[in-house]
Amino acid sequence: MKIEELLKIFKEVYGEGKEPIRCFFSSGRVNLIGEHTDYNGGYVFPAALNVGTTVLVRKRNDKKICLYATDLKELVEADIDKIDEYKNIRWGNYQLGVVKELKEAGYEVGGLDMLFHDTVPHGAGLSSSAAIECATGIAVYSLFNSKPIDKVELSFICQRAENRFVGVNCGIMDQFASSLGKKDHAIFLNTRTMEYRYVPLKLGDYKIVISNTNKKRSLAESKYNERRSQCERGLEFLKRKLNISCLGELDVETFEKYKNLIDDEIILKRVRHVVYEDDRVLKSIDVLQKGDLEGFGKLMIQSHISLRDDYEVTGFELDTLFDEALKVEGVIGSRMTGAGFGGCTVSIVHKDAIEEFARKVGENYHAKTGLVADFYTFEIDDGAREIEI
Ligand code: GLA
């Protein structure tokens, strides 16, 4: 939808007004490698997409936050001083959580009319929620605070909103990518130190293709939390001899030397995934810097296999997309992206093979699962920002 159309809807919902209307955007993300590492102080390598959440926003002269979404066509009104009362509303808790966290972090907030328009497919593991949070965060902050927003701080505020208000125990990756994304670059982030670096994605004749299983992710949250606590147990085993505070501090060599401390088959597999996945991220940065895209593709494949066999977060649908992708000529790498248990895969596909990829993978996926997959060739874009209108 064009900004003009959104403006029209805004005025229909909220009426003409004297205060100026401003527009903000934040992105969905795809993680290229480094999965289930961010809550272990490990490395991640996500990139922001050119789909996300657009927000139109205008000041009110009272203390109400009003939310309207173009897809739901429903208005939510909340009192800024009683945000906790709205925790269980049908929608809008991402936005209200962010307002609450901004306020608690000591920033000015005030009454606003807001219109939301999302283009990230929902429930696909492409962080539509982080896009909503970061778009809300930058919009609310910018209307009441004059200094430009610190985007790292923005990502922490949004993560806290999701952890404490929405009640999802996510790591920092999604909000960080949504907030700090940069066109044609992926972000190499160390989640232990929060040091990060932009790495140019020089894909040449290749494109990033995202394939959506369109599988409902019903158990995702409980399984996600289960994996988190399994990692914590792994850390406890290792701490008996090692002076470490998170699995991200462990390199492959140290892990191999001390893995016998982990007295539980399942926990050992989970920790092995985290340690080797971290190592794959480091190797990925190295091969990409040398322009070795095929080397990167191989690391993506190893990542999927580890997520399938050791971390056990893929499932039949993601594995089918992965297997079918690798059968297509012109594909140099593929893996699940995001939390797993459904959601999407990300593949590196030669530009001339994309049509065939979508057709063949789509047909075989449907034959095997009964589901219809979607295929996207989104661009890698900037993260949270104001859009001039
Ligand atoms: C979800 C979480 C992230 C991260 C990934 C798995 O997307 O929100 O913090 O843990 O899963 O890598």
CA dihedral sign, ordered 330, 120, 197, 224: negative
* Average pLDDT value over all residues in the chain: 97
CA distance 322 to 85: 43
Our answer on whether the CB atom of 39 is closer than 6 Å to any ligand 1 atom is yes
pLDDT at 248: 98
- Average pLDDT of span 355-380: 98
Single out the residue of 53, 41, 23, 33 nearest to residue 281, CA to CA. 33
Helices (H), ranges, the chain: 3-14, 93-104, 128-144, 151-160, 173-180, 220-239, 252-258, 265-289, 293-309, 316-327, 354-369
What does the domain layout of the chain look like in residue ranges? 3-201+381-387, 206-378
pLDDT at 221: 83
Q: Is the pLDDT of residue 220 over 80?
A: no
Our answer on whether the CB atom of 165 is closer than 6 Å to any ligand 1 atom is no
Distance 34 CA to ligand 1 centre (A): 10
CA distance 8 to 11: 5
Our answer on whether the CB atom of 173 is closer than 6 Å to any ligand 1 atom is yes
CA distance 289 to 301: 19
Joined together, the tokens standing for residue 57 give 């926003």
Distance 47 CA to ligand 1 centre (A): 13
Query: Which atom of ligand 1 is the closest one to the Cα of 173?
Result: 9
pLDDT at 380: 97
Query: Which atom of ligand 1 is the closest one to the Cα of 34?
Result: 12
pLDDT at 183: 98
Percent of the chain past pLDDT 70, that is, above it, reads 100
Q: Is the pLDDT of residue 3 over 80?
A: yes
| Sequence-separated (6 or more) residues with CB below 8 Å from residue 19 | 58, 59, 60
pLDDT at 111: 98
Our answer on whether the CB atom of 339 is closer than 6 Å to any ligand 1 atom is yes
pLDDT at 232: 98
- Average pLDDT of span 87-96: 92
pLDDT at 253: 98
Query: Which atom of ligand 1 is the closest one to the Cα of 172?
Result: 9
pLDDT at 91: 93
CA distance 322 to 337: 11
CATH of 206-378, one of 3.40.50.1010, 3.30.70.890, 3.30.70.360, 3.20.20.220: 3.30.70.890
Q: Could you tell me if 373 and 213 are in contact, meaning their C-beta atoms sit under 8 angstroms apart?
A: yes
- Average pLDDT of span 151-179: 97
- Average pLDDT of span 352-374: 98
pLDDT at 312: 98
Classify strands 22-31 and 75-79 as parallel, antiparallel or unpaired: unpaired
Distance 9 CA to ligand 1 centre (A): 34
pLDDT bin (cut points 50, 70, 90) of residue 214 is: very high
Are both 3-201+381-387 and 206-378 of the same fold?
Answer: no
Polymer length in residues for the chain: 389
Our answer on whether the CB atom of 332 is closer than 6 Å to any ligand 1 atom is no
Mutational pocket test of ligand 1: of 174, 179, 225, the residue with most ligand atoms within 8 Å of the beta carbon: 174
Q: Is the pLDDT of residue 318 over 80?
A: yes
Distance 35 CA to ligand 1 centre (A): 7
Our answer on whether the CB atom of 177 is closer than 6 Å to any ligand 1 atom is no
Joined together, the tokens standing for residue 159 give 């993560």
Distance 22 CA to ligand 1 centre (A): 31
pLDDT at 216: 86
| Sequence-separated (6 or more) residues with CB below 8 Å from residue 135 | 24, 25, 26, 52, 53, 54, 55, 116, 384
- Average pLDDT of span 263-274: 98
Mutational pocket test of ligand 1: of 173, 189, 277, 311, the residue with most ligand atoms within 8 Å of the beta carbon: 173
- Average pLDDT of span 353-357: 98
Of the listed 174, 278, 310, 381, which one is catalytic?
174
Our answer on whether the CB atom of 162 is closer than 6 Å to any ligand 1 atom is no
pLDDT at 87: 86
Domain with residues 3-201+381-387, CATH architecture: 2-Layer Sandwich (3.30)
- Average pLDDT of span 228-240: 98
| Residue 36 among known ligand-binding residues | yes
| Residue 125 among known ligand-binding residues | yes
Q: Is the pLDDT of residue 283 over 90?
A: yes
Single out the residue of 375, 273, 287 nearest to residue 325, CA to CA. 375
Start-to-end Cα distance in the chain: 14
Residue with CA at minimum distance from ligand 1 atom 2: 170
Q: Is the pLDDT of residue 218 over 80?
A: no
Q: Is the pLDDT of residue 78 over 80?
A: yes
For 60, other C-beta atoms within 10 Å of its C-beta total 16
Q: Could you tell me if 149 and 142 are in contact, meaning their C-beta atoms sit under 8 angstroms apart?
A: yes
Residue with CA at minimum distance from ligand 1 atom 11: 339
Our answer on whether the CB atom of 335 is closer than 6 Å to any ligand 1 atom is no
Percent of the chain past pLDDT 90, that is, above it, reads 96
Residue 174 known to be catalytic: yes
- Higher pLDDT: 60 or 1? It is 60
Our answer on whether the CB atom of 227 is closer than 6 Å to any ligand 1 atom is no
Q: Could you tell me if 255 and 271 are in contact, meaning their C-beta atoms sit under 8 angstroms apart?
A: yes
- Average pLDDT of span 238-256: 98
Residue with CA at minimum distance from ligand 1 atom 1: 339
